[in-house]
């Protein structure tokens, strides 16, 4: 179960005012759904998802694992963070089983590219290119470099080591995939990058990595049902959206997403993209930042406790207990730890969570929104992903901005395009 | 060379006002230096550093590399981020040569701990524990778990696989090191955690990892000289400190540290600790955040370009050229890349930097402070580390807070202590 705890924010939900917003939002969603240019396909994508599509994803994933020892996932932004964040959250930061996943196409750093390409020299790898438009510079350049390497190894058979996820109707990647005969999966045209982790964009790499995508989709389907209520007193995704806007109006410029699990750090990156790109327009938006505790209590902790009160925290608290590692007892108790000998490390992590909540929220007056998450598994992650997407769309609606575009990203791209043309 | 470029902030340095601050700051530094409780030892630590100490660090580092295949660095906060950030910046994210470094003691996550300990089962590893006080919970628990593993492997000889860096005069880690006879290095009492990367705290793990610590120290020594001027028109570390405070007074709540190299990401974490802990007190401070471009242009880019104007950017721009990887030409130009075929990836990264600078600073009116860094090597990193430490101390002084303590971090620790005592 996932439960939203709003008892540490010291603010009250204004039920009347925001219930009005909900009505208007749900009407707007209907219109967006019916519009030919609407981008709200994610709202019931999972419950409409064909079993045949899941079967095909799992079959191809199995095929990739049987033929290759490494999969290079090539993508950036929404074509990358979602899948990687879910894989890390489920499998941990260092898993190479059942297959190693490597990420490229998310940077133009020559240093990073060199490290990856020289590592791949000795590997039997496949390439999975994920791009809706097929035009993104980072992705296309990385794809070409990888094709070069594959062609050196496999000659004309390189096409059998290339897999594609792209728009179902348009784009140069679709053209190339058809021309070369790459195995291809499709992104519905009415779902944008940062809402696409529930489509093959996320599901294919997750399935290859051994993540149970049926459980993940089931979590999202249940969220669709549970979070379909129009009643603010019952719908926690609406409650979360409303509360963060109340805090923002109260002067908080920053939302700090917090986890106590290092392997959830990248899910916070996914949240930063989701909220930052959806809300950050027309000079509006809450700046999204993230921290991993207890690590960052020893870096950002001082600021949060006692510095400029410009932020609130949103804590993903996974309450799962694990008794495998306990504090060992020693003969000479130099570190003064023997009084907690036998206590599981996971329990101490929860004690730190409670101590920090009290320190930050009660003593430091920093509002804390808390998600209590029973288990860090595919089902709960699918639920959370849908929860945050719905909350984000509603939150942007409250702020009066369109949640599904990102016009500001084009500005530097146009500058780069001009520079690259002139320097030819 | 490192050069600070303030031409994209659209603000003027108020020379008269801040020259007065410099005078007072330098007088204050002298008093801090003379005070028995002063914490400003880092100010000229490198130029005072004994060659014999560097010799000993390098000898022990060589010894560790010859006896073990893995070094586990156990520390948190200032006892961890500095060394790791420098090692990654120099050696890249995936280097296992000349030895693999693993990090523990920076979290209480059972999931993370399990991954690391099971990986170590098959490794011939040494443990390097870094803690000034010796009391930090994360570090002491990890150390006990590692001792357990080492004792199972080596019995009483485990002491030969343990190395310590701790306070020169006090603490339980010092007591244990003396009792057990661990090889031990010392942190001067007048240097705090986040200013300690220039001491054995940073130098020993860096040397083990094959980072040239003599070049690093030389960079810091040259920074000491170059940045000793009291003239604001000449001293770039003072200029940087002043400019960020002018921007803060102008309404900017957030400083976003930006790099275009993924392997510099953790150096931004070091910066976040340095500034966040030094300034974030008495309800003051600039909130430190970070981003890796171009990756995060596809997540935070929209917000920066067009969202709430609550931030300024501080960009670490490494201008180093690398011609090894160029855009390949293809027969069928689906991706429309042939017009830039033959262009080095590193050059395209610089074109993106210029395009983003124009988009954010000129078109988006987001102030940009730019550091142009000729080369990402030990010398330049040593220079930068000192540059930022001096700028940070001055910046905190301008804000009227003491830069070298972190009283707010104690609040949650006291809560945790009480909870752990009660639950015995």
Cα–Cα distance for residue pair B357/B404, rounded to 1 Å:
34
Task: Tell me how far CA of residue B135 lies from CA of A327, B170, B173, in angstroms.
Answer: 15, 11, 8
Question: Under a CB-based contact definition with an 8 Å cutoff, are residues A335 and B131 in contact?
Answer: no
Give dist(CA A312, CA A270) in Å, integer: 18
Contact check, Cβ <8 Å, A307/B415: no
The complex's ipTM? Answer: 0.97
Please judge whether B311 and A284 are an interchain contact, meaning their C-beta atoms are less than 8 angstroms apart: no
Quick check: A15 contacting B, CB < 8 Å? no
Chain B residues closer than 8 Å to A93 by CB: 112, 115
Q: At what angle do helices A200-208 and A213-226 cross, to 10 degrees?
A: 140
Q: Which of residues 295-324 of B touch A (CB under 8 A)?
A: 295, 297-311, 322, 324
Is A205 touching B (CB cutoff 8 A)? no
The pLDDT value given to residue B378: 98
* Residues A415, B361 contacting (CB under 8 angstroms): no
**Within a 10 A sphere around the Cβ of A118, how many other Cβ atoms?**
11
Q: Is the CB of B326 inside 8 Å of chain A's CB atoms? A: no
In chain B, what is the greatest distance between 2 CA atoms, to the nearest angstrom?
72
How far apart are the C-alpha atoms of A108 and B353, rounded to whole Å?
A: 10
In the DSSP assignment, the letter for residue A198 is T
Other Cβ atoms less than 10 A from the Cβ of A138: the count is 27
pLDDT digits (tens, 9 = 90+) for B199-236: 999 999 999 999 999 999 999 999 999 999 999 999 99
Mean pLDDT of A79-84: 96
**Residues of chain B positioned with their CB less than 8 A from the CB of A136:** 298
Q: Is B37 a catalytic residue?
A: no
Structure confidence by residue, pLDDT tens digits, A380-419: 999 999 999 999 999 999 999 999 999 999 999 999 999 9
Contact flag B337-A144 (C-beta cutoff 8 Å) = yes
Contacts (Cβ under 8 Å, ≥6 apart) of A31: A38
Query: Could you tell me if B330 lies within 8 Å of chain A, comparing CB atoms?
Result: yes
| Tokens encoding A315 | 């804590």
Dump pLDDT digits (tens) for A258-295: 999 999 999 999 999 999 999 999 999 999 999 999 99
Total residue count of chain A as it appears in this document: 424
What pLDDT is attached to residue B422?
74
**Chain B 359-398, residues with CB within 8 Å of chain A CB atoms:** 359-360, 363-364, 376
**pLDDT of res. B423:** 61
Q: For residue range A184-214, what is the model confidence (pLDDT) as tens digits?
A: 999 999 999 999 999 999 999 999 999 999 9
Q: Is B261 on the interface with A (CB under 8 A)?
A: yes
Task: Examine the residue annotation and report whether B298 is marked as an active-site residue of this protein.
Answer: yes
Element (H, E) at B317: strand B311-318
* Residues of A annotated as catalytic (active site), given as ranges: 277, 298, 413
State whether residue A90 sits within 8 Å of chain B by CB.
no
At A344 the three-state DSSP class reads strand
- To probe the interface with B, which of A335, A338, A348 has the most B CB atoms within 10 Å? A335
For residue A424, is pLDDT > 80? no
Q: Which residues of chain B have pLDDT under 70?
A: 423-424
Q: Which of A74, A307, A373 has the most B C-beta neighbours within 10 Å, making it the best mutation to test the interface with B? A: A307
User: Which domains are delineated in chain A?
Assistant: 2-31+230-399 (3.40.50.10490), 41-211 (3.40.50.10490)
What is the band of A423 on the pLDDT scale with cuts at 50, 70, 90?
Answer: low
3-state helix, strand, coil in chain B (%, to 5): 55, 15, 30
Average pLDDT, chain A: 96
Contact between chains at B305 and A409 (C-beta distance less than 8 A)? yes
Chain segment B54-92, per-residue pLDDT in tens: 999 999 999 999 999 999 999 999 999 999 999 999 999
| B106 touches A: beta carbon within 8 Å | yes
User: In this structure, are residues A335 and B135 in contact, taking their beta carbons and an 8 Å threshold?
Assistant: yes
Nearest Cα of chain B lies from the Cα of A55 at a distance, in angstroms, of 30
Q: Can you give the pLDDT at residue B235? A: 97
Nearest-Cα distance to chain A for B353, in Å, is 9
Contact assessment for residue A351 and residue B419, using Cβ atoms and an 8 Å cutoff: yes
Is residue B284 annotated as part of the catalytic site, yes or no?
no
Which residues does chain B have within 8 Å of residue A416's beta carbon, measured at their own beta carbons? 351-352, 355
Give the Cα separation of A289 and B287 in Å (integer): 10
């Amino acid at each position: 179960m996932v439960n939203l705890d709003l008892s540490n924010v010291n603010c009250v939900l204004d039920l009347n005012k925001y219930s009005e917003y909900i009505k208007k939002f749900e009407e707007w969603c209907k219109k967006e759904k019916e519009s030919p240019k609407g981008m709200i396909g994610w709202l019931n994508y999972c419950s409409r998802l064909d079993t045949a599509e899941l079967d095909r994803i799992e079959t191809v994933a199995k095929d990739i694992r049987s033929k290759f020892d490494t999969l290079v996932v090539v993508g950036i932004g929404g074509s990358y963070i979602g899948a990687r964040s879910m894989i890390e959250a489920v499998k941990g930061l260092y898993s190479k089983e059942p297959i190693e996943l490597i990420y490229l196409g998310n940077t133009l750093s020559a240093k990073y590219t060199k490290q990856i390409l020289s590592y791949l020299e000795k590997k039997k790898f496949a390439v999975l290119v994920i791009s809706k438009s097929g035009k993104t510079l980072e992705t296309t350049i990385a794809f070409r470099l990888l094709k070069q390497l594959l062609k050196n190894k496999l000659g004309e058979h390189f096409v059998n080591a290339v897999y594609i996820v792209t728009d179902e109707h348009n784009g140069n990647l679709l053209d190339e995939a058809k021309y070369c005969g790459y195995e291809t999966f499709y992104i519905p045209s009415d779902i944008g990058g940062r809402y696409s982790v529930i489509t093959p964009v996320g599901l294919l790499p997750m399935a290859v990595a051994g993540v149970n995508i049926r459980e993940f989709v089931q979590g999202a389907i249940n969220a669709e049902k549970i979070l379909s209520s129009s009643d603010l007193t019952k719908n926690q995704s609406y409650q979360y959206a409303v509360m963060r806007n109340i805090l923002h109006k109260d002067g908080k410029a920053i939302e700090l997403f917090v986890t106590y699990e290092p392997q959830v750090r990248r899910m916070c990156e996914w949240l930063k993209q989701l909220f930052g790109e959806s809300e950050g327009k027309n000079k509006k938006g809450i700046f999204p930042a993230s921290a991993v505790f207890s690590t960052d209590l020893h870096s950002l902790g001082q600021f949060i406790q006692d510095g400029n009160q410009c932020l609130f925290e949103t804590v993903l608290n996974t309450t799962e207990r694990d008794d495998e590692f306990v504090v060992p007892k020693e003969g000479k108790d130099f570190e003064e730890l023997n009084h907690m000998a036998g206590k599981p490390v996971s329990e101490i992590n929860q004690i730190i969570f409670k101590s920090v909540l009290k320190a930050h929220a009660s003593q430091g007056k920093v509002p804390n929104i808390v998600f209590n998450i029973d288990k860090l598994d595919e089902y709960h992650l699918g639920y959370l992903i849908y929860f945050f997407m719905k909350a984000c769309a509603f939150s942007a609606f409250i702020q009066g901005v369109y949640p599904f575009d990102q016009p500001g990203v084009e500005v530097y791209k146009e500058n780069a395009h001009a520079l690259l043309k002139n320097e030819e």
